[in-house]
């Protein structure tokens, strides 16, 4: 048995597809690019974790018995969420399929399916994500902006662009000046690659000018670019110890730290918030104003209606709450 089992990780391995003589060259090429690199990396980490568990328990991982899969996911359930376990099963299933074990895939055993169903019922599938930062929160956060003029300009632009654009932290950090198109009405942002655009077709985000310049994202971004002198390359960058602007882009983790910093200055618990709080907060704020579902999805680029409807339901619980009728109305 190998040390880590990675010799049996077949997802994304071109040599496996190349050896299939029944496929044309064109068909092989489509398979090579079927999955995004980050998806393959996630599956690789999942497979490695499973193999490590098998090695520790002296079980075979290739091939693996359905009972081995069941015992593994039950151990995993001690610390992982139900959806994490489901994703792990998905990775194992895909790898066995890529290895050509479609007819003998242990993950497709009724034993495994029943075990996974039982774990979901036992643990539930409710996701406890980061708390939303609502529009009123954004306005208060902007009052807490600290640092010198350059730092304030950058952080203000990050918070406002991240909120109005309903952007993920990787999307904020990945912005280049070349992705921006300032028009008379506002700003058009081209996302060259995002989580829900694995085929790199590009997505467009529109952020209009608004009358209140204090909370206008377009105004804030233009001010940051003018003040920093950035005309090409990464939009948001870090600072050196001498507080000059770096050439390389800010990391996505830094986006989360910026959000947590200002949440803390507001007196809220930073552990409950992160970069996703901006995206979550935009969707929830829009739902609180009874914005139509399709309009929210157009701005957030969500592919799943279920996620957006969860935000709408979250807002409705606070707006159309029976407590208001009991107590005589809103405060």
Predicted confidence band of residue 94 (pLDDT cuts 50, 70, 90) = confident
Which SS3 state, helix, strand or coil, does residue 39 take?
A: helix
> Which residue in 43, 61, 72, 311 is the catalytic one?
311
The answer to whether 95 touches 47, Cβ cutoff 8 Å, is yes
Give the CA dihedral 139, 250, 128, 310, nearest 10 degrees.
Answer: 60
Residue 7 has pLDDT above 60, yes or no: yes
Query: Which residue intervals of the chain are DSSP H helices?
Result: 14-18, 25-32, 37-56, 66-76, 82-98, 110-123, 135-143, 149-164, 169-173, 217-228, 252-265, 276-288, 293-300, 305-319, 322-327
Please list, in sequence order, all residues whose beta carbon lies within 8 angstroms of the beta carbon of residue 16, skipping any fewer than 6 positions away: 10, 98, 99, 100
Segment 243-254 shows an average pLDDT of 93
Cβ-Cβ contacts under 8 Å for 7 (sequence gap 6 or more):
none
∠ CA 216-220-224 to the nearest 5 degrees?
175
Look up residue 328 and give its two tokens.
């005589």
The full DSSP string for 99-118 is TT-GGG-GGGSHHHHHHHHH
pLDDT single digits (tens) 16-25: 555 656 556 6
Q: Kindly name the residue from 35, 81, 108, 195 that is annotated as catalytic.
A: 195
**195 among known catalytic residues:** yes
Tokens for 17?
């597809």
**Least confidently predicted of 162-166, 180-184, 327-331:** 327-331
Of 279, 280, 301, 310, the catalytic one is 279
pLDDT, average across residues 253-262: 95
Q: Residues 156, 276, 280, 310: which is the catalytic one?
A: 276
pLDDT of 230 over the 80 cut: yes
Q: Please check the confidence at residue 207 and state whether its pLDDT lies above 50.
A: yes
Given a cut of 60, whether residue 27 has pLDDT beyond it is no
Count of residues making up the chain: 331
Q: Quick one: how far is CA 96 from the chain centroid?
A: 26
Q: Identify the pLDDT of residue 66.
A: 94
Residue 116, CA atoms < 13 Å, CB-side half-sphere: 17
Q: Is residue 274 scored above 70 in pLDDT?
A: yes
Q: Note if 294 is an active site residue.
A: no
> How does the average pLDDT of the chain come out, rounded?
84
Rounded distance, CA 130 to CA 273, Å? 5
Where is average pLDDT lowest: 44-53, 224-233, 308-317? 308-317
Stronger pLDDT, 46 or 16, i.e. the higher one: 46
Rg (CA), the chain: 24
**End-to-end CA distance of the chain, in Å?**
67
Residue 57 falls in the annotated catalytic set? no
96 is catalytic: no
Judge whether 130 counts as a catalytic residue: no
User: Per-residue pLDDT for 258 more than 50?
Assistant: yes
Quick: pLDDT tens for 96-124: 888 877 778 999 999 998 988 888 777 66
pLDDT given for residue 119 in this prediction: 83
- Cα distance between residue 215 and residue 164, in whole Å: 10
pLDDT of residue 83 exceeding 60:
yes
Greatest pairwise CA separation for the chain in angstroms: 74
Of the chain, the percentage scoring pLDDT greater than 90 comes to 48
Q: How far apart are CA 30 and CA 32, in angstroms?
A: 6
Position 36 scores a pLDDT of 61
Q: Does the structural domain 6-123 have CATH classification 1.10.150.130? A: yes
Separation between Cα atoms, residue 179 and residue 228, nearest integer Å: 17
32 catalytic per annotation = no
pLDDT of residue 1: 40
Pick from 28-37, 129-138, 204-213, 292-301 the range whose average pLDDT is largest: 204-213
Residue-range domain boundaries for the chain = 6-123, 135-319
The residue from 168, 249, 260, 280 that is catalytic is: 168
Domain spanning 135-319: CATH 3.40.190.10: no
Average pLDDT over residues 68-76: 92
């Amino acid at each position: 048995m190998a040390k880590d089992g990675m010799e049996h990780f077949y997802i994304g391995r071109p040599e496996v597809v190349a050896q299939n003589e029944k496929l044309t060259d064109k068909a092989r090429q489509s398979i090579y690019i079927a999955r995004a690199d980050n998806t393959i990396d996630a599956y690789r980490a999942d497979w490695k974790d499973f193999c490590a568990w098998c090695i520790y328990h002296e079980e075979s991982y290739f091939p693996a018995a359905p009972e081995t899969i069941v015992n593994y996911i039950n151990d995993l359930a001690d610390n992982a969420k139900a959806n994490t376990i489901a994703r792990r099963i998905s990775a194992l299933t895909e790898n066995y399929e890529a290895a050509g074990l479609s007819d003998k895939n242990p993950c497709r055993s009724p034993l495994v399916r029943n075990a996974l169903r039982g774990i979901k019922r036992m643990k539930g599938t409710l996701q406890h994500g980061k708390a939303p930062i609502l529009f009123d929160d954004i306005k208060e956060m902007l009052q807490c902006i600290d640092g010198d003029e350059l730092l304030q300009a950058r952080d203000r632009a990050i918070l406002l662009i991240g909120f109005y654009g309903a952007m993920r932290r990787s999307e904020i950090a990945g912005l280049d000046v070349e992705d921006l198109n300032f028009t008379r009405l506002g700003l058009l942002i081209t996302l060259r690659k995002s989580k829900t655009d694995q085929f790199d077709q590009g997505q467009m985000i529109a952020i209009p000018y608004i009358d209140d310049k204090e909370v206008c994202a377009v105004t804030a971004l233009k001010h940051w670019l003018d003040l920093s002198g950035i005309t090409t390359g990464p939009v948001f960058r870090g600072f050196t110890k001498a507080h000059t602007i770096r050439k390389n882009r800010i990391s996505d983790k830094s986006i989360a730290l910026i959000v947590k910093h200002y949440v803390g200055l507001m007196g809220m618990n930073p552990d409950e918030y992160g970069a996703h709080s901006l995206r979550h907060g935009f969707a929830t704020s829009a739902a609180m104003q009874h914005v139509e579902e399709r309009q929210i999805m157009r701005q957030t680029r969500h592919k799943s209606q279920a996620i957006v409807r969860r935000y709408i339901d979250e807002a409705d619980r606070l707006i159309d709450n029976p407590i208001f009728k009991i107590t005589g109305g809103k405060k």
